[in-house]
Amino acid sequence: MPEQALGIGIAGFWHVHADDYARQASEHPETRVAAVWDDDPDRAREAGERLGVPVAASLDQLLARFDVDAITVTCETSTHSAVIGTALAAGVPVFTEKLLAPTVAECEALVHASRGGGTALVVSLPRLAEPVIRTAIELVEAGALGDLTYVRVRMAHDGWLRGWLPERFADPIAAIGGAFADLGCHPAYLVQRFLGAQPREVTATYGRVTGRPVEDNAVVTARYDNGAIGVAEASFVTTPGAFALEVRGTEATLLHGFAREGLIGKGGQLGEDWTPVPLVQAGTTPFDLWIDAIRHGADTRANLRAAIDLTALIVAANTAAETGQTITTAEQDQGGSE
């Protein structure tokens, strides 16, 4: 007999991806949406009506429901430590929107709690599973590009030009920053995946095109010990929206975006002309990894290590932007949360 579907509680509708994760829970063959909660009663009521499920009056009540086996967390970033920590202490598995927590120390504590209690914790870093990224990574690891010298990743949309991104994303305390701490997480963890988790130096330039309290336009540069440079860009004020990837090495280059779909390459074994590169299959999504971890104990260490390293880079970028200084990143113990 097939296993009974896991009941998923949606904890928080602050983030715009809350409904996306609810949809994943509804569509996944092993899960269903069981109940919702938000610390804003109106937001909770609206979500419950929209999804057709019960509304818990508090986080504790959500976690205590007999039909809630696990939760997704899409509350404001500033409350992640408290919400996720409470769930893990109750033995309830957690799938969370990035960032995992506002600081590296808080991330480490949550990962430790997850490991100690044997409770599955996974962070949504979805771009790593996409065919374009997986193809580029495979080519890099096979040596097709030679030694990497430059990686640039840009993610941008028109959320604050067209008015669809909620104003709560401009709260510097709740959101732990602006465009870079939200949308910029994707370029940041992709740069880290290609060039390494710990750049030697980080600089940041943040702009406020719309005059809100947080940046809506950001460029962050990471310099590595070997001389390679990574550039991560994010914007809430770009029309049309964009996802662009540029990976350059001593032998060849890969490009994605820039008014074209797919992936193209040039140089070395890729050829002397720009040529479409066949894409590999998509990888395991973070949500699927989470369910596999709950059901079968799938290894989540790489996901959690990437989430901690991502927070370190976001904190360094925010500090660089605030101080106008280049931040020299400290070496971190890579074994602590493995």
Our separate counts of H helices and E strands in the chain read: 10, 14
The predicted-structure confidence for 55-93, as pLDDT tens digits, reads as follows 999 999 999 999 999 999 999 999 999 999 999 999 999
d(CA 30, CA 251): 45
Query: To the nearest whole number, what is the mean pLDDT of the chain?
Result: 95
- The mean pLDDT of 165-184, rounded to a whole number, is 96
Average pLDDT over residues 173-178: 95
25 touches 32 (CB < 8 A):
yes
H-helix segments, the chain: 18-27, 41-51, 59-64, 80-89, 104-117, 131-141, 159-162, 185-195, 286-296, 301-323
Cβ pair 85, 75 in contact under 8 A: no
* 292 pLDDT higher than 80: yes
pLDDT single digits (tens) 5-58? 999 999 999 999 999 999 999 999 999 999 999 999 999 999 999 999 999 999
Q: How high is the pLDDT of residue 260?
A: 85
In three-state form (DSSP H/G/I as H, E/B as E, the rest C), the secondary structure along 56-116 is CCCHHHHHHCCCCCEEEECCCHHHHHHHHHHHHHCCCCEEECCCCCCCHHHHHHHHHHHHH
How many angstroms separate the CA atoms of 227 and 196, rounded? 12
Helix (H, G, I), strand (E, B) or coil at 306: helix
Superfamily of domain 6-126: NAD(P)-binding Rossmann-like Domain (3.40.50.720)
The pLDDT tens digits for 191-213 are 999 999 999 999 999 999 999 99
Mean pLDDT of all residues in 164-176: 96
What residue segments make up the domains of the chain, in order of their start? 6-126, 128-284
The pLDDT value given to residue 334: 39
Whose structure tokens read 């508090």?
58
The closest of 50, 102, 123, 110 to 84, measured between CA atoms, is 110
pLDDT for the residue numbered 93: 98
Tokens in use for 151?
Answer: 């990686």
CB 160 within 8 A of CB 178: no
Q: Which two tokens stand for residue 63?
A: 């976690």
* Cα 10 to Cα 12: distance, rounded to the nearest angstrom: 6
Q: Which fold has domain 128-284?
A: Dihydrodipicolinate Reductase; domain 2 (3.30.360)
What is the residue type of 270?
L
Residue 289 · residue 85 · CB < 8 Å? no
* Gap between the Cα atoms of 36 and 199, Å rounded: 39
Q: pLDDT tens digits, residue range 184-195? A: 999 999 999 999
Cα–Cα distance list, 58 to 9, 67, 83, 183 (Å): 12, 15, 11, 29
pLDDT range class, residue 220, cuts 50, 70, 90: very high
CB 204, CB 218: distance < 8 Å:
yes
Contacts of 83 (CB under 8 A, 6+ apart): 11, 12, 59, 73, 75
**pLDDT, position 259:** 86
Q: Residue 328's beta-bridge partner residues? A: 201
Q: Looking at the DSSP assignment, which residues form a beta bridge with residue 8?
A: 33, 70
**Mean predicted confidence (pLDDT) in 277-290:** 98
